[in-house]
Amino acid sequence: MPPQANCALPAGFQLDQYRIVRQLSLGGFSIVYLAEDELGTQVAIKEYLPNSLALRKEGETEPQVSEEHLPAFRYGMKCFFEEGRALAKLMHPNVVRVLNFFRSNGTVYMVMQFERGRTLHDMIQKHRGTLKESFIRAVFVRMLNGLREVHAHKLLHLDIKPSNIYLRADGTPVLLDFGASRQTLMVEQPILKPMYTPGFASPEQYERRDQLGPWSDIYSVGASLYSCVVGSTPLRADERMKDDTLQRVSETHAERYSTQLLGLVDWCLQLDPLARPQSVYALQKALAQQTPATATATTTTAATPHPPWFTDLGSRLKAFIGRS
């Protein structure tokens, strides 16, 4: 079945104890709504509705799923439900709060706290490669607090990108829209079209899914940092694996940002999972180092694109790989 457009539930629709206000977003895997509970509190509701498996037409409530795709649809629904159950256990200011999850209309819904603000993607589009280094560091150090909590619960995000990093009115970042259930469904149902985000997904999300780990999220963090620095999305990982033409930001942007920050971005974007930071803590510790931005590129910077701590880490990793 080719991808198709699913119709959203209409405004005013009563969904369990919530009333739909309007559609917020529509993706290949789900539809997100703004809704209100019985007390008038606004929430965001995510509906499991993969358009490669199910079709809901105008005026209908339940999606139509063919007999052929029913096992995959039900398995994905189970993964989505389990993801909601796991996320509901997370209580962290930098991770979206899951308030409820339930079954209805032949599918599953995840109710989340509604956040006001703007996405990091909006900020990048507005400033186009001129974001201040202090802003970038502040956003990512706090966002990584949330990601550390996610990993501590044996979960992976698997869809980190600027549009999933939400900035509240006070500037506090919040991680949104986990892709874990999509990745699980992909592994078990190879007939499905992959649901990763090109440019931000790690190499192992394309063809080595048995190697997924915290380092996979770290690649996506590096791609998001790259977008902040450059103002555009990096070359997608599957293309890099064929012919890696991605230029190191430590070579292209040394006049605007510190060598330390740029080396960190290059470190996260290594194609080899073992060559990246292996934990969020290691990445966060390096990111928290406040190094003044370099005014101009020097001969030393051009000759040595990575700071000493980066080079030393590479040597240690090579030694580790040689022993294994």
Q: What mean pLDDT is reported for the chain?
A: 84
Distances from the Cα of 246 to the Cα of 70, 194, 218, 266, 269, angstroms: 41, 23, 17, 10, 10
| pLDDT attached to residue 36 | 98
Percent of the chain with pLDDT over 90: 64
Question: Cβ distance 260 to 110 under 8 Å?
Answer: no
**Is pLDDT of 312 > 80?**
no
- Mean per-residue pLDDT, 79-96: 88
In the chain, how many H helices and how many E strands? 12, 11
Instruction: Give the pLDDT score at 294.
Output: 38
Judge whether residue 296 has pLDDT over 70: no
Give the rounded distance of the alpha carbon of 176 from its chain centre. 8
Pairing of strands 107-113, 117-119: unpaired
pLDDT, residue 229, reads 97
pLDDT of amino acid 15:
97
Region 176-182 average pLDDT: 68
pLDDT above 60 for 114 = yes
Say what the pLDDT of residue 183 is: 55
pLDDT for the residue numbered 289: 79
- What pLDDT does residue 324 have? 37
Where in the sequence of the chain do the CATH 3.30.200.20 domains occur? 18-113
The type of residue at 95 is V
Q: For 32-36, 197-201, 232-236, which range has the lowest pLDDT when averaged over its residues?
A: 197-201
pLDDT score, position 112: 94
pLDDT at 302 over 70: no
18-113 fold: Phosphorylase Kinase; domain 1 (3.30.200)
Q: Give span(s): CATH 1.10.510.10, the chain.
A: 117-303
Q: What is the pLDDT of residues 50-62, one digit of tens each?
A: 888 999 999 999 9
pTM: 0.81
pLDDT tens, position by position, 234-264: 999 999 999 999 999 999 999 999 999 999 9
CATH code 1.10.510.10 for 117-303: yes
Report the chain's C-alpha Rg in angstroms.
21
